[in-house]
A and B are shown apart, each in its own frame.
Chain A
């Protein structure tokens, strides 16, 4: 069997052009000074124009923006899948399959808790790929009840563990584990590029695990209650996590000094503010992902870096727009933006 390497030179050139269209840092400052209508108008003149124009007939205000952002993100990923070949395509599909898991999770949680379909749809990212890669018709799942969804999941090897979980909460937690397994398994090769992507994924897993431990320890959770929620394949060895979960909250905070992300979470630790620690970890992950752009310019790394920056941009735009709609204090919005 011959593995086609992939059309990296062409792909990276296209990604470079797409990256040029990402919003610059100073744009966020300008958006902060606008009202919601002006923000939508402004975004409607950027890379999101097509989606805003398409959906403006059916939606307005914050709904229009949210749908347009999700649709644009989905189309961006689909475009990259379509223009890539061989190994490059396989890796982009592996990266974007996390959206399938996110979408399945949002549907399960929404259906399980009785949310109306229109609310659930708002949270879905419409990523399509060939039937070979994508396991579900996501929109078909929306029409099912929880029991039918569970049966459908049970028919797919990757999702069997999810279907076997008894409660909705356990299914949710299992889906997040699957999300990271998918990410890690897509980059499981021995190449330096795969190792670097796995490093970023491992850092994300560490961030998730540390936040789980801190959040639960604040409420006095026992190690047993925390243990089953820990995600495997983080950079922090399992043995170390085991020691961490046995400590008291204050000892854990002291212990975090030993990790490379400490500078990013220092303020949160001093103020004992878990939100600040969480934001610091997000910034650290994004900073770490920046090295993807430079290590090997003609490889999958700049593509993954672009995707992460695009996701972050969508997340920031959503935050600013929703924040404006809800009359949130400007300093609160700024504090929660993740800008590298």
Chain B
């Protein structure tokens, strides 16, 4: 039983707390539902993007293997090493239902024009262009996928916390408060009955 005096003001206080707890419970349930809905929406996008990334990876790898077979590994390695700067990633945050989720973007360009990649055009073949393009697109998709998967993890985390709070309110806090309320009412009724009995005895 909570530490509340079994008085009328105590009962009023408990009733007030029950109302707050129930309102809180409603709000948290609504938040939970909204988070779950957002989660499923993003999960669908993520699953679709993951599927595309897997397909793209297979295609890029096949193109790379073909380029190695036609041009030779030294030519491919040399073209790959001509790209000196790796793209930089910028991570900022946005808010979804009060949850801080990442916004991942590349600072510079990931997709480059053929003359920006750093390998000679005259001495290389179209295959190298195609491999470069596939991996650039894969990298762009990878950046987006990182953002989405990270968002899912954070949302899931928040849904979990939220669920615990909702459950705590539903199964512990509110029942405890209601029990306290019943006990106080019972106590008050007892005290009233005692008073009435004392009064009757006094009148005799």
| 21 A-B pairs with C-beta separation under 8 A | A66-B72, A109-B78, A109-B120, A123-B72, A169-B120, A173-B120, A212-B121, A215-B114, A216-B114, A216-B121, A219-B113, A229-B122, A274-B129, A275-B125, A278-B126, A318-B72, A322-B73, A328-B65, A328-B69, A329-B62, A336-B70
Choose among A172, A220, A319, A333 the residue that contacts B120 (Cβ–Cβ < 8 A).
A172
Per the 8 Å Cβ criterion, residues 44-85 of B in contact with A are 62, 65-66, 68-70, 72-75, 77-78, 81-82
Is A149 among interface residues, defined by CB-CB distance under 8 A? no
**Chain A residues near B25 (CB-CB < 8 A):** none
Is B202 among interface residues, defined by CB-CB distance under 8 A? no
Choose among A275, A322, A328 the residue that contacts B126 (Cβ–Cβ < 8 A).
A275
Is B123 among interface residues, defined by CB-CB distance under 8 A? yes
Is B39 among interface residues, defined by CB-CB distance under 8 A? no
Bound-state CA distance A318–B130 (Å) is 20
Bound-state CA distance A106–B125 (Å) is 15
**Chain B residues near A277 (CB-CB < 8 A):** 126
Is A110 among interface residues, defined by CB-CB distance under 8 A? yes
Bound-state CA distance A177–B115 (Å) is 17
| Whole-angstrom distance between the Cβ of A29 and the nearest chain B Cβ | 17
Is A105 among interface residues, defined by CB-CB distance under 8 A? yes
CB-based contact B81/A115 at 8 Å: yes
CB-based contact A332/B62 at 8 Å: yes
**Chain B residues near A275 (CB-CB < 8 A):** 125-127, 130
Number of interface residues, chain A, beta carbon within 8 A = 46
**Chain B residues near A211 (CB-CB < 8 A):** 125-126
**Chain A residues near B81 (CB-CB < 8 A):** 113-115
**Chain B residues near A122 (CB-CB < 8 A):** 72-74
**Chain A residues near B78 (CB-CB < 8 A):** 109-110, 113, 115
**Chain A residues near B130 (CB-CB < 8 A):** 274-275
CB-based contact B74/A115 at 8 Å: yes
Is B87 among interface residues, defined by CB-CB distance under 8 A? no
Flag A131-174 by CB within 8 Å of B: 1 or 0 each. 00000000000000000000000000000000000001100110
**Chain B interface residue number, banded:** 20 to 34
Is A243 among interface residues, defined by CB-CB distance under 8 A? no
Q: Which 10 A-B pairs have the closest CB atoms?
A: A172-B120, A176-B122, A322-B69, A113-B81, A326-B65, A323-B69, A123-B74, A219-B113, A274-B126, A176-B123
**Chain B residues near A328 (CB-CB < 8 A):** 62, 65-66, 69
| Whole-angstrom distance between the Cβ of B77 and the nearest chain A Cβ | 6
List A residues at the B interface (Cβ < 8 Å).
66, 105-106, 109-110, 113-115, 119-120, 122-123, 168-169, 172-173, 175-177, 208, 211-212, 215-216, 218-221, 225, 229, 231, 274-275, 277-278, 318-319, 322-323, 326-329, 332-333, 336
Is B118 among interface residues, defined by CB-CB distance under 8 A? yes
CB-based contact A169/B119 at 8 Å: yes
Bound-state CA distance A277–B74 (Å) is 24
Question: Most chain-A CB neighbours within 10 Å: which of B65, B66, B115, B118?
Answer: B66
Q: A122-B74, A318-B72 are in contact. Are A221 and B113 (CB under 8 A)?
A: yes
Bound-state CA distance A175–B68 (Å) is 22
Question: Most chain-B CB neighbours within 10 Å: which of A113, A220, A332?
Answer: A113
CB-based contact B72/A322 at 8 Å: yes
| Whole-angstrom distance between the Cβ of B56 and the nearest chain A Cβ | 17
CB-based contact A119/B66 at 8 Å: no
**Chain A residues near B114 (CB-CB < 8 A):** 215-216, 218-219, 221
Bound-state CA distance A275–B82 (Å) is 21
Question: Most chain-A CB neighbours within 10 Å: which of B77, B81, B121?
Answer: B121
Q: Which residue of B lies closest to A328 (CB)?
A: B65
CB-based contact B70/A172 at 8 Å: no
Q: Which residue of B lies closest to A105 (CB)?
A: B123
| Whole-angstrom distance between the Cβ of B80 and the nearest chain A Cβ | 9
Bound-state CA distance A274–B66 (Å) is 15
**Chain A residues near B62 (CB-CB < 8 A):** 328-329, 332
Choose among B69, B73, B122 the residue that contacts A333 (Cβ–Cβ < 8 A).
B69
Per the 8 Å Cβ criterion, residues 104-133 of B in contact with A are 113-115, 118-123, 125-127, 129-130
